Amino acid sequence: MSDSFLPATGALRYSPALCKTGHARRDGGSTQWWLIVECDPELGRYLRHQFLLGHRRTRRLQGPLWGAHISAIRGERPPLEALWKRWDGATVEFGYDPAVRETDGFVWCPVRCERLLALREELGLPREPEPALHLTIGNSRLGD
């Protein structure tokens, strides 16, 4: 792992419920066949605060509906369904680059995690997800 990547841990959550609403996704879609790494809420708060300071307190972020998280599987039905939820709740280690990026209002950090790539392969999915692994910390679309 490169010097710019910092270590962290999180918990695997299969087909996760949304944290802020407790209901189905806002768009009415399902969270079936999603696998996320639920990260420490303080990590998300810290990175959102750094984003605010980096923008001279002019741009605030709202936290993601799942809190700070890594999406390892995004609605992809795995060929090996029998292994789904096999590691639910397990702790996974990952590295993240604290230099945040922004794409279409979503703010994130690049992630490296060999375990998540191996989990994708174990389920019969392509090793590399699209988009690549990243830690979602918030979005700047406060009115949405």
Tally of domains within the chain: 1
- Does a structural domain hold residue 44? yes
- Does a structural domain hold residue 128? yes
Instruction: Determine which helix (DSSP H) or strand (DSSP E) holds 139, and give its type and residue range.
Output: strand 134-139
Q: Of 21, 14, 142, which Cα lies nearest the Cα of 69?
A: 14
pLDDT of residue 21: 45
- Does a structural domain hold residue 107? yes
- Does a structural domain hold residue 144? no
Range of the domain at 37: 6-139
- Does a structural domain hold residue 80? yes
- Does a structural domain hold residue 112? yes
- Does a structural domain hold residue 106? yes
Reported pTM: 0.84
Structure tokens at 140: 């700047």
Structure tokens at 1: 């792992």
pLDDT in tens, 29-50: 568 899 999 999 999 999 998 8
Side-chain-side CA neighbours of 84 within 13 Å: the count stands at 17
DSSP letter, residue 82 = G
Distance CA 52, CA 50 (A): 5
- Does a structural domain hold residue 1? no
Q: Average pLDDT, stretch 75-98? A: 96
pLDDT of residue 31: 87
Question: How much of the chain, in percent, has pLDDT values that exceed 90?
Answer: 65
Distance from chain centroid for Cα 29 = 18
- Other CB atoms within 10 Å distance of the CB of residue 105: 12
Helix (H, G, I), strand (E, B) or coil at 141: coil
Transcribe 16-60 into DSSP letters: PPPTTTSSS-TTS---TTEEEEEEPHHHHHHHHHHHHHHTTT---
